[in-house]
Amino acid sequence: MLKTVLTPIHKESLPFVAISLVLSGLLFWLWSPAGWVGLVASAWCVYFFRDPTRVTPVRAGLVVSAADGVITALTETPPPPELEMGSAPVWRVSTFLNVFDVHINRAPVDGTVSRMAYTPGTFVNAAFDKASEDNERMAVRLDRQQGSSVAVVLIAGLVARRIRCFTKEGAELARGERFGLIRFGSRADVYLPKGVQPLVCVGQRVLGGETVLADEAFQENARTGEVR
C-alpha cells in the first residue's frame, strides 16, 4: 500500500521543490494565507515529478508507449526528416500529457540511439495536430538489431517549455527505460516500424513503459473505440 501511495520523485524535481518551499516560507512570513497557497503549489510540484516503477512487457516485437496520457491521434505520415528515416508513411501514435500525468518518457523499443535532433519552435497546445511540426521538439531515432527503426518525438506544449533528454547518440536503450522528461504538459509521438498497425485507439489512456502500442507479430486494422 505504501509503495503505491508514496511514489518516488525524479531528481529533476529537487531544484523546483526547494525553490517552492523557500518561497512558501517567505509567503508565510509575509502573510500566512499566501503561505498555505505556496505549500499547495509545492505539493503539486512534488506530484508532477513523480517517477513510478512500471512493469514493461519484454517479448520481442512489442512497441510500448513512450508516455502516460491520452491517445489524441493516429496518423500515417513520414517520420521527421531530421532523423533520416526515409519518406515512406508509417503510423504515428500521438499521446497528449496534461499537467497531472506522469511526465517521465520511456523507450518504446530496445535499440541504439543513432540520431537525436532538437528543433526550436512555438508553444501551441500540444493536443493540436500541427504541434508535431510547429512546436519545440526533440526527435530520437532508435535503430534495432532486427527490423526497421522507431522514432520518438518529445514535443513541448502550451505550458511546457523545457525538454530534458537523459540519453545521447550511441547509447543502448532497453524497452521501458527512462530517457526523457518534459516540463510541464506536453506530447509524445511514436513512429511505428514500417508496416506495423497500432493496437490502440483515439481517446484511450496509456501508461508509459507498460501499454502496448503495437505488436509486429500480430496484424489487424487500426482500432476504433467508444466511450462507455
Which residues make Cβ contacts (< 8 Å) with residue 91, sequence separation at least 6? Answer: 74, 75, 76, 191, 192, 196, 197, 198, 214, 222
What nine digits make up the cell of 153? 518525438
- The pLDDT value recorded for residue 134 is 67
Contact 64, 190 (CB under 8 A): no
CA distances from 144 to 63, 117, 133, 148, 190 (A): 12, 18, 25, 7, 15
Q: Please give the backbone phi and psi of residue 160, each rounded to the nearest 5 degrees, phi first.
A: -65, 135
Global confidence as pTM:
0.86
Of residues 127, 155, 129, the one with CA closest to residue 77: 129
Q: What is the mean pLDDT of residues 48-54?
A: 86
Cβ burial of 82 (10 Å; 0-12, 13-18, 19+) is: middle
37 and 74 housed in the same domain: no
Q: What is the mean pLDDT of residues 172-188?
A: 87
pLDDT range class, residue 167, cuts 50, 70, 90: very high
136 and 190 housed in the same domain: yes
Coil/strand/helix, residue 85:
coil
> How many domains would you assign to the chain?
2
Q: Is residue 211 included in any domain, yes or no? A: yes
Residue spans of beta strands (DSSP E) within 56-110: 62-64, 69-77, 90-97, 104-106
Q: What is the mean pLDDT of residues 170-195?
A: 90
Residue spans of beta strands (DSSP E) within 144-185: 150-156, 162-165, 172-173, 178-183
Q: Is residue 183 included in any domain, yes or no? A: yes
35 and 105 housed in the same domain: no
Tell me which of 14 and 42 has the higher pLDDT: 42
pLDDT range class, residue 161, cuts 50, 70, 90: low
- Which of these three, 25, 48, 71, is where a domain ends? 48
Contact 180, 105 (CB under 8 A): yes
Give the pLDDT confidence of 55-83 residue by residue, as tens digits. 999 999 999 999 999 999 999 999 999 99
Q: What is the mean pLDDT of residues 12-22?
A: 76
N- to C-terminal Cα separation, the chain: 29
Which residues make Cβ contacts (< 8 Å) with residue 205, sequence separation at least 6? Answer: 69, 70, 71
Domain of 147: which CATH number? 2.70.70
- The pLDDT value recorded for residue 143 is 96
What nine digits make up the cell of 23? 518561497
Q: Is residue 226 included in any domain, yes or no? A: no
9 and 98 housed in the same domain: no
Of residues 177, 182, 178, 193, the one with CA closest to residue 157: 182
Q: Domain of 37?
A: 2-48
Q: What is the mean pLDDT of residues 214-224?
A: 81
90 and 137 housed in the same domain: yes
- The pLDDT value recorded for residue 120 is 82
Q: Report which residue type is found at 193.
A: P
- Please determine, for residue 124, whether its predicted confidence score (pLDDT) is greater than 80: no
Catalytic, 24? Answer: no
Q: What is the mean pLDDT of residues 19-27?
A: 82
Q: Is residue 71 included in any domain, yes or no? A: yes
95 and 199 housed in the same domain: yes
72 and 103 housed in the same domain: yes
32 and 74 housed in the same domain: no
- The one catalytic residue in 24, 42, 65, 186 is 186
Alpha-carbon 99 to chain mean position: 12
- The pLDDT value recorded for residue 77 is 94
